Amino acid sequence: MEERMLPKENTDIESTEINSESLLETISDAEVKSRISFEEFTDERTLISSDTFGTKQMKIKVLEVSDEHSPAKWKLGDRVKVIKILVTIRHLTTQQVEEAEFDIEAIERELAEKRHYTSTNRWVPVDSIKNGYVVRSQHTRLISDAHALDYIAF
């Protein structure tokens, strides 16, 4: 009689969950101690968005994410819910740099209370966070409520 080996089922749930700590870490030259591999390399241009007139540049760093599980992972893929961000805006004409920390969750509640709507979608795909920073295609999604309440002008 021939025995067949059935593939083991992976019952380790922790391995499939997203490690939010690793999304927030930045990779520095001191930590790597050698050249950065191709997978770790992130082009700075993918992280910076510009305003319409080309006078300002914005970069968003993720400070805190929720450990909540994505409701539609099967449909939309791995995503994390962003709670706090650090927005850095550089004025290109004066080289002045402004930084502000935003609690997106609190801003979303405030907008819903004051204006009876909210436009923020704080669920960001894991692939859209590189070295702790959000890629530019997701910037509008994260700052839309802050912009509606005039906390940020960009």
Across 5-19, 22-36, 56-70, which has the greatest mean pLDDT? Answer: 56-70
pLDDT at position 17 is 56
**pTM over 0.95, yes/no:** no
Could you write out the three-class secondary structure of the chain?
A: CCCCCCCCCCCCHHHHCCCHHHHHCCCCHHHHCCCCCCCCCCCHHHCCEECCCCCEEEEEEEEEECCCCCCCHHHHCCEEEEEEEEEEEEECCCCCEEEEEEEHHHHHHHHHHHHCCCCCCCEEEHHHEECCEECHHHHHHHHHHHHHCCCCCC
pLDDT at 104 over 70: yes
Higher-scoring residue by pLDDT: 121, 129: 129
Question: Would you kindly state where each structural domain of the chain is located, as residue ranges?
Answer: 17-148
What mean pLDDT comes out for the span 134-140?
A: 89
What mean pLDDT comes out for the span 44-53?
A: 87
pLDDT at 13 over 70: no
pLDDT at 143 over 60: yes
Higher-scoring residue by pLDDT: 3, 75: 75
Look over the chain and give the mean of its residue pLDDT values, rounded to a whole number.
78
**pLDDT band, residue 18 (cuts 50/70/90):** low
